[in-house]
């Protein structure tokens, strides 16, 4: 309700850390930083999020809408494919949870790529990268974001994927003009 975030980090046999971020007043002077602020990773494009956990979906939606994106949400892979078909011309990027009911993220990805072979997709997982299928994503040059979401990492990954897709589309159009 206050526009804040709660990030939880758990390390087995070591404990759990809660990071609570609440908006506050702007300081009189803003210190400069060598890192790019997350706000610079925002945009106005339409994104599709497919996530079966309501709270995780709400966090991702809030992070992305606060950065200026228009967000469509789906509770499972099949709903994501249906929304993609309905809004194909306006969706700039799809975020797919790897493990979902009805249709997994991988299966939804396959169906979305049949509709649009160049559709940019980011996979999301809460599973430990050491025990999950993370290596296969690397081998296939697919983007993977770990949950719980680090807002800066999520926004940067989304912006990078959209920018890479836009650059690819531009190169394809330039090649068509030859």
Burial (CB < 10 A; 0-12, 13-18, 19+), residue 94, is buried
**CB-CB contact of 122 with 155 (8 Å):** no
Q: Which of 44, 123, 39, 154 is nearest to 90 (CA)?
A: 44
Q: What pLDDT, on a 0 to 100 scale, did the predictor assign at position 165?
A: 81
Q: What pLDDT, on a 0 to 100 scale, did the predictor assign at position 48?
A: 98
Per-residue pLDDT of the chain (178 residues; tens, 9 = 90+): 556 778 788 888 888 888 787 776 654 444 444 444 444 678 899 999 999 999 999 999 999 999 999 999 999 999 999 999 999 999 999 999 999 999 999 999 999 999 999 999 999 988 766 555 656 666 567 888 989 899 999 999 999 999 988 775 544 444 544 4
CA distance 163 to 20: 30
Range list of β-strands (E), 35-168 = 46-50, 70-74, 91-97, 121-125, 143-146
CA distance 128 to 163: 28
- Measure the CA dihedral 164/170/173/177, to 10°: -140
- Give strand pairing partners of 125: 146
Would the pTM count as exceeding 0.95?
A: no
**CB-CB contact of 145 with 157 (8 Å):** yes
Q: What pLDDT, on a 0 to 100 scale, did the predictor assign at position 6?
A: 82
Q: What pLDDT, on a 0 to 100 scale, did the predictor assign at position 109?
A: 95
- Give strand pairing partners of 84: none
Q: What pLDDT, on a 0 to 100 scale, did the predictor assign at position 36?
A: 46
Q: What pLDDT, on a 0 to 100 scale, did the predictor assign at position 31?
A: 43
- What is the three-class DSSP state of 119? coil
Q: What pLDDT, on a 0 to 100 scale, did the predictor assign at position 9?
A: 82
Q: What pLDDT, on a 0 to 100 scale, did the predictor assign at position 2?
A: 59
């Amino acid at each position: 309700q206050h526009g804040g975030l709660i990030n939880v980090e758990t390390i087995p046999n070591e404990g759990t850390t809660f990071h609570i971020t609440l908006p506050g007043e702007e300081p009189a002077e803003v210190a400069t930083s060598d890192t790019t602020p997350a706000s610079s990773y925002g945009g106005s494009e339409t994104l599709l999020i497919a996530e079966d956990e309501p709270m995780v979906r709400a966090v991702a939606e809030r992070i992305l809408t606060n950065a200026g994106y228009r967000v469509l949400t789906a509770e499972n892979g099949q709903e994501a494919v249906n929304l993609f078909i309905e809004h194909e011309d306006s969706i700039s990027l799809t975020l797919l949870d790897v493990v979902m009911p009805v249709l997994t993220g991988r299966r939804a990805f396959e169906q979305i790529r049949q509709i649009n072979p160049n559709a940019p997709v980011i996979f999301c997982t809460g599973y430990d990268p050491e025990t999950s299928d993370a290596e296969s994503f690397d081998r296939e040059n697919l983007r993977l974001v770990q949950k719980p979401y680090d807002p800066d990492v999520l926004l940067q990954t989304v912006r990078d994927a959209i920018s890479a897709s836009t650059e690819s589309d531009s190169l394809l159009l330039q090649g068509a003009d030859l």
